[in-house]
Structure 1
Amino acid sequence: MNLSNSQTLTVSGQDLTRNGSSSSSSNNLTPTRKPKPPKPENAITIAVSARVLFNMEREQQIYVQQGMEDYIKYQVEHETEPFRPGPAFSFVKVRLINTINHHQLFIERFCMTGGNSPIGYLKAYHANLYLSADSGKVREALEEGIAAATMFTPEKMTEVSETQLRVAFDGDAVLFSDESERIYKAHGLDKFFEHEKAHENKPLDHGPLKGFLEALGKLQKKFYGKGQRMDCPIRTYLVTARSAASSGTRALKTLRSWGLEIDEALFLAGAPKGPMLEKIRPHIFFDDQMFHVEGAAEMGTVACHVPYGIAQRGTVDKQTFSAP
């Protein structure tokens, strides 16, 4: 059986677009032997902007301030100098299948869009997730029904595991729809709790990153089927500001109704997420509210903003950010 994690790096304009796969098999592979492309049922396709895979701040400044021609000239003049890792680097390079003798991260496809948006290519690549530093392109991808998030670089980055991929998700407006947040914003916390209790057995609608959790789950189940649940190289977390006692049940029942599992569910009842994420040390964390993204980044977590739902409409104060 060939289990793989495929990363598609789709980049626009000043970025490079590439598709890489980390592929493994039961055979011993040497670094000179190129792994076979993964089968779709054994792969996750992730589109990653080069600006978040590598640190390209200097290049970005030239592109924005001086234009494409000077940008190209600078790139050619420095083409032999490697980039420093960016916030997505550890997420892309992590070894997913540590129970198999060997696997490699290699580049399959390369594409340059000459300044045009890459979003049109994502569906053709069957991308499960798109990560970029450009919030406009992220919004465009979400409008096309593609799981996407804007990635930020923390000033310090916490060391993360190289043998287990850890992915942390917020609940509402990330895995789930923003239904509950709309109730909270319009009617307050008491009405929110009342609504959740009344609809406890009604699953929430899906949010923009449900499909990505599903893709991770499919890979996890291959290990579960071999009795390797505790040794699975992928671990998922729900980190939500919901309260376990008053509104957590609906979130868990929703996941169960979708046939999805989450390895750990952490209900913080409005408390800051940064300290908990510092303990988890995920490779990546997704939240729809910048308050939590910034708090996570301050603690060294690579955090991504999902610009989806009511929290993105107008000015949202800090009290709203502590909502479910």
Structure 2
Amino acid sequence: MPATLDRQLVVAISSRALFDFEEENELFEAGDDRAYMALQQQRLDVPAKPGVAFSLVHKLLGFNVGAAAPRVEVVVLSRNDPISGMRVFRSAQHFGLKIERGVFTRGTSPWRYLRPLKAQLFLSANEADVRSALGAGVAAARVLPSGARASDAHPHELRIAFDGDAVLFSDEAEQVYQASGLDAFQAHEIERAGLPLPAGPFKPVLEALHRLQRDKEDAMSVRTALVTARSAPAHERALRTLMNWQIEVDEAMFLGGLAKGEFLREFEPDFFFDDQIGHVESARAHVPAGHVASGVKNV
């Protein structure tokens, strides 16, 4: 009987999102494929440094420790060549990351393998791959490799923060705001306060985290936050939507347009997801952050 990833949270991640390959990537971006491969081969026995999404992956895999069956599967899905993939696996082993599966496509887009992997989340430094994944219905974010690393203050707690519109929720309300301004947006949301928002691309990820929190009773836990530019009275529809989904978040920040970075610095997430690049830039100075290229702001 073949192996299966059913009933697991499957996270696909590129090698640059997981490890710091920025020096090597300069050769790759210059189009010198052979020199890049040669450099990676020379460094096979040199573990790569942790990248922006390293803490997220490390803690997700922590939910498998002591479990009767794996709860989370992390797969490397990379434009790297197979030889460079050897260094990725060796680096993962060095840090105790139990990553056993990988797909390496040597320069071509790997997103098409998300479907057979049944991946619910894809993290990559390549914007085109992220957009392709989102277009295929998979939650995806572009990791900014030069961003901050996660705090080590919460070793047994996975902390993730989400924006609302175009991330957890659809961009229905954001479209109103962009077309008609703040007053029209507020009126639209007050009128529809009791009507749940349609789901955004990251609703399945929040659901999967909710299941991990509910079903897993050991040293690892989950803490989630909604960090949104919404303010009262538009906050109510967002909260009622989560209530309708029967999903709880631990913290909610309705910031009314304030910069999100300093608030996220205090929450200390392992990762933050937002659809607006300005918010991601504000966040990345303090915490790991990824750009979700969905919704009207990213057309």
Structure 2 length-normalised TM: 0.84
2-structure distance, mates of 1:265, 1:156: 22
One-letter code aligned to 2:292: V
Does structure 1 residue 301 correspond to structure 2 residue 287? yes
One-letter code aligned to 1:135: E
Deviation at 1:232, TM superposition (A): 6.1
Secondary structure, in 3 states, of the residue corresponding to 2:189?
A: helix
One-letter code aligned to 1:128: Q
Kept in 1, the 8 Å contact 2:19–2:52? The answer is yes
Equivalent position of 1:145 in the other structure? 137
Secondary structure, in 3 states, of the residue corresponding to 2:200?
A: coil
Please show how residues 5-154 of structure 1 align to structure 2 within 5 Å.
Answer: 40-41=6-7, 43-94=8-59, 96-97=62-63, 105-154=97-146
Q: Name the structure where helix makes up a greater proportion of residues.
A: 2
2-structure distance, mates of 1:295, 1:258: 29
Count of residue pairs the alignment pairs up: 269
Equivalent position of 1:14 in the other structure? none
Does structure 1 residue 157 correspond to structure 2 residue 149? yes
Gaps of 5+ in 1: 1-36, 314-324
Equivalent position of 1:214 in the other structure? 207
Equivalent position of 1:281 in the other structure? 268
2-structure distance, mates of 1:208, 1:139: 12
2-structure distance, mates of 1:87, 1:67: 25
Secondary structure, in 3 states, of the residue corresponding to 1:130?
A: strand
Does structure 1 residue 196 correspond to structure 2 residue 174? no
Deviation at 1:156, TM superposition (A): 4.2
How much is the aligned-residue C-alpha RMSD, in angstroms?
A: 2.3
- Closer, same or farther: CA 128–98 of 1 in aligned 2, 3 Å: closer
Kept in 2, the 8 Å contact 1:98–1:163? The answer is no
Deviation at 1:67, TM superposition (A): 2.3
1:234 aligned to which of 222, 230, 240: 222
Deviation at 1:272, TM superposition (A): 1.2
One-letter code aligned to 1:202: L
1-structure distance, mates of 2:55, 2:36: 27
Equivalent position of 1:311 in the other structure? 297
Deviation at 1:158, TM superposition (A): 4.7
Kept in 2, the 8 Å contact 1:166–1:283? The answer is yes
Deviations 1:181-205 (A, max 9, x none): 1101111111111000111111111
Gaps of 5+ in 2: 71-95
Deviations 1:290-324 (A, max 9, x none): 111011112x21010000111113xxxxxxxxxxx
Kept in 1, the 8 Å contact 2:52–2:147? The answer is no
Please show how residues 154-193 of structure 1 align to structure 2 within 5 Å.
Answer: 154=146, 156-160=148-152, 161-193=154-186
Secondary structure, in 3 states, of the residue corresponding to 2:100?
A: strand
Equivalent position of 1:271 in the other structure? 258
Deviations 1:210-244 (A, max 9, x none): 11111111111114xx6x8xx8611111011111x
One-letter code aligned to 2:169: F
1-structure distance, mates of 2:180, 2:67: 55
Secondary structure, in 3 states, of the residue corresponding to 1:157?
A: coil
One-letter code aligned to 2:24: E
Structure 1 length-normalised TM: 0.77
Equivalent position of 1:322 in the other structure? none
Moved more, 94-103 or 79-88: 94-103
